[in-house]
Copies of this chain bind each other. A is one copy, B any other.
Amino acid sequence: MPMKWISVLLLLQLSGHFSPGSCGKVLVWPTEYSHWINMKTILDALVQRGHEVTVLTSSASILVDPNKPSAIQFEIFPTSVTKDDFEDILMRLTSKWTYMPKYTFWTYFSKIQDNIREYFDCFQKLCKDAVLNKKLMRKLQESRFDVVLADPSGPCGRPTTLFELMRKADIWFIRTYWDFQFPRPLLPHFQFVGGLHCKPAKPLPKEMEDFVQSSGENGIVVFSLGSMVTNMTEERANVIASALAQVPQKVIWRYDGKKPDTLGPNTRLYKWIPQNDLLGHSKAKAFITHGGANGIYEAIYHGIPMVGLPMFADQPDNIAHMKTKGAAVRLDFNTISSTDLLNALKTVINDPSYKENAMKLSRIHHDQPVKPLDRAVFWIEFVMRHKGAKHLRPAALDLTWFQYHSLDVIGFLLACVASATFVITKCCLLCYQKFAKPGKKKKRE
Contact = CB atoms under 8 A, between A and B. Distances in A.
A140 interface: no
A432 interface: no
Interface in A1-40: 1
A394 B181 CA distance: 11
Interface in A394-424: 394-395
A370 to B, nearest CB: 5
B188 A186 contact: yes
Given A363-B386, A369-B370, A385-B367, A392 B178 contact: yes
Interface in A167-202: 178-179, 182-189
A364 interface: yes
A370 B367 contact: no
Most buried by B among A1, A183, A187, A367: A183
Interface in A364-395: 364, 367, 369-370, 374-375, 378-379, 382, 385-386, 391-395
Contacts of A395: 182-183
Q: What is the copy number of this chain in the assembly? A: 2
A188 B369 CA distance: 14
Given A185-B186, A186-B188, A391 B370 contact: no
Interface residues of A, number: 28
Contacts of A379: 369
B369 A386 contact: no
A144 to B, nearest CB: 22
Contact of A183 (B367, B370, B385, B393): B393
A147 to B, nearest CB: 15
Contacts of A367: 382, 385-386
A395 B1 CA distance: 16
A189 B183 contact: yes
Contacts of A369: 369-370, 374-375, 378-379
A144 B184 CA distance: 32
Contacts of A186: 185-188
Nearest to A364: B391
Contacts of A382: 367
Contacts of A1: 185
B188 A187 contact: no
A387 to B, nearest CB: 11
Contact of A364 (B182, B183, B187, B386): B386
B183 A178 contact: no
Contacts of A178: 188, 391-392
A1 B382 CA distance: 28
Contacts of A393: 183
A186 to B, nearest CB: 6
A443 B369 CA distance: 87
A382 to B, nearest CB: 6
A438 to B, nearest CB: 37
Given A364-B386, A364-B391, A386-B363, A185 B187 contact: yes
Nearest to A189: B183
A1 B1 CA distance: 14
A382 B369 CA distance: 10
Contacts of A189: 183
20 contacts: A1-B185, A178-B188, A178-B391, A182-B395, A183-B187, A183-B188, A183-B189, A183-B391, A183-B392, A183-B395, A184-B187, A184-B394, A185-B186, A185-B187, A185-B394, A186-B186, A363-B386, A364-B386, A369-B379, A370-B370
Given A182-B395, A363-B386, A364-B386, 11 more contacts: A178-B392, A179-B391, A183-B189, A183-B392, A183-B393, A183-B394, A183-B395, A184-B394, A185-B394, A364-B391, A369-B379
